[in-house]
Amino acid sequence: MGARKGPMEGRETGTLGKLMALLDLVTHADGPMRFTDILAVAGQPRGTLHRQLVHLSEEGLLEVDDDGRYLPGLRLLDLASRSWARNEFRLVAEPHLTALQKLTGETVHLGVLRGTSIIYLDKVEGQQSVRMYSQIGNASPIYCTGVGKAALSILPQARLEALLAELEFQRFTPSTHTAETLVAEMDDIRHEGCAFDREEHEVGIRCVAAPIWSDNLSFIGGVSVTGPAYRLTMERLEEWSTPVRQSAQDIMRDMRIGLGPRR
């Protein structure tokens, strides 16, 4: 499998592309970054990088703390909240997510495929005492999450192989897939119409997921029910695979009705 590209590699060379790559770098860092930290990985001349950081800071997309470190700006929260509130797909899916959560009592997620990650668009928190700490907007790997594997199962073979070639398979738990075991599981997922996360991303967490897609495959995602392994036995998840698949079908039906071409 090919190595994962760095945040500043393979991006647009224009001004906007460079600014977006820089914004990605800072916002995806584990913590605030100093100018020298950014300079070491950005691949930009010192003067150019300084001007770019100034522009992003002036627009409120980045902030500088008292120690001179760069971190995501509050304007990003405003943009994200507006995007989330107006996302038509999320609004179409919302009642189905709520119904699935009421049926299972567990946490329900809605995610979409973006590059080599799954981005969570919505979450309905479970009613149990132990809850998930996932967040809307978070990115998770496609190869070891239920929604991710469900989304992969929809891809045509050529597109699947191209995407897998971009992945660096990090081992999160003893159950995390390798490239070979993931490919081997794809036939089962396609046959069953659902995917299981058997503690592959986090120890003690399981889920069952079903794919969601548009007719032209320009949009691919999934819906899942997630919870702690001690409560969600594989037998229970297999029982829930039917309502999860039905929820996915209902969401796709309403997508075609509600998001179809306007006259």
Q: What is the pLDDT along the chain (263 residues), one digit of tens a residue?
A: 333 344 444 444 577 888 888 888 888 788 889 999 999 988 888 999 999 999 899 888 898 988 899 988 877 766 665 655 456 778 889 999 999 999 999 999 999 898 888 988 889 988 765 555 566 777 889 999 999 999 999 999 999 999 999 888 999 999 999 999 999 999 999 999 999 999 999 999 999 999 999 888 888 999 999 999 999 999 999 999 999 999 999 999 998 876 554 43
Question: Which residue range(s) make up the domain with 69?
Answer: 15-78
113 and 173 belong to one structural domain: yes
pLDDT of residue 29: 84
In sequence order, which residues have a C-beta less than 8 Å from that of residue 66 and are 6 or more positions away?
none
Q: What is the pLDDT of residue 6?
A: 43
Q: Are residues 72 and 104 in the same domain?
A: no
CATH number of the CATH domain containing 70: 1.10.10.10
The verdict on 54 and 97 lying in the same domain is no
Q: Are residues 120 and 237 located together in one domain of the fold?
A: yes
pLDDT of residue 4: 37
What angle do helix axes 35-42 and 15-27 make, rounded to 10 degrees? Answer: 120
Do residue 219 and residue 106 come from a single domain?
Answer: yes
